[in-house]
Amino acid sequence: MAMQIDQFDPRTTAVIVVDMQNDFIASGAPLETPMGRALLPTLSRLLDHARQSGMSVIYTTHAHRKSGCDMGMFAEIYPPIADRAGLIDETSGIEIYPAVAPQGDEIVIKKHRYSAFFGTDLDIILRSSGIKTVVVTGVTTENCCQSTARDAMFLGYHVAFISDATGTYDYPDAGFGPIPAQDVHRVTLGILAVSTAHVMTTDALIQKTIAA
């Protein structure tokens, strides 16, 4: 039976904003993800709701040191990473896109792999804050967002995956034909809905939020 979340208690819910950084979202960025720009109004509305209701908001940004010492296999998979064209620490590219930038003392976690939990202190932060439910938003649906959702589930959190506040990019032909972003997104949502998370819209999250 698929995971179901009947209500969200803001006191025990955290919204994770995955990699909404300039190197993915800005026009002409080295790892440009057009769906990420398209979802900005929806994500902004979700963040407004989260803050007003009292949910925690935590950001991630994917960053590698200029030396390449923490790139691992990404240097073989993604030329912009290998060439130091994107996702490089201490550059404007890893800063969160201004339209959805952190407010106040909201945390930004630097990560070096797809999952926001891998090699970071995210789990410690969530548990120390009494978080039981994680809401996944951001880019990309099938990589960083999905990996974060799965690790959250593995660690015992209830996971909401927001269908209209996540997005990805078109995939080139790697031997199986090109795959449009919308198809990658749709199939990933279908898989997650069965195996990992309660996939829902922003409106559903808002409707299911109880007064703290």
Distance CA 32, CA 154 (A): 30
Q: What is the pLDDT of residue 211?
A: 86
Query: Own/partner pairs for 178-185, CB < 8 Å, 24+ apart?
Result: 181/34, 181/35, 184/141, 184/142, 185/35, 185/141, 185/142
| Residue of 89, 132, 144, 208 marked catalytic | 144
Instruction: Write the pLDDT tens digit of every residue in 78-130.
Output: 999 999 999 999 999 999 999 999 999 999 999 999 999 999 999 999 999 99
| Residue of 19, 23, 151, 164 marked catalytic | 19
Q: Which tokens sit at 81? A: 């990473």
Q: Which tokens sit at 177? A: 């034909």
| Residue of 23, 111, 145, 151 marked catalytic | 111
Instruction: State yes or no: is 9 an active-site residue.
Output: no
> Vertex 164, ends 120 and 122: CA angle to 5°?
10
Sign of the torsion formed by the C-alpha atoms of 122, 187, 77 and 154: positive
Instruction: State yes or no: is 173 an active-site residue.
Output: no
- Cβ-count burial 16-29 (b if 16+ within 10 Å, e if not): bbbbbbbbbbbeeb
Instruction: State yes or no: is 110 an active-site residue.
Output: no
- pTM given for the model: 0.97
Within 13 A of 122's CA, how many CA atoms are on the CB side?
Answer: 30
> Vertex 15, ends 167 and 25: CA angle to 5°?
35
- 109 neighbors 61 (Cβ within 8 angstroms): yes
- The CATH architecture that domain 10-207 belongs to is 3-Layer(aba) Sandwich (3.40)
Residues of the chain with pLDDT under 70: 1
Lateral strand order in the sheet of 13-18: 107-111, 56-62, 13-18, 133-139, 158-167, 198-200
- CA 68 to chain centroid, in Å, comes to 23
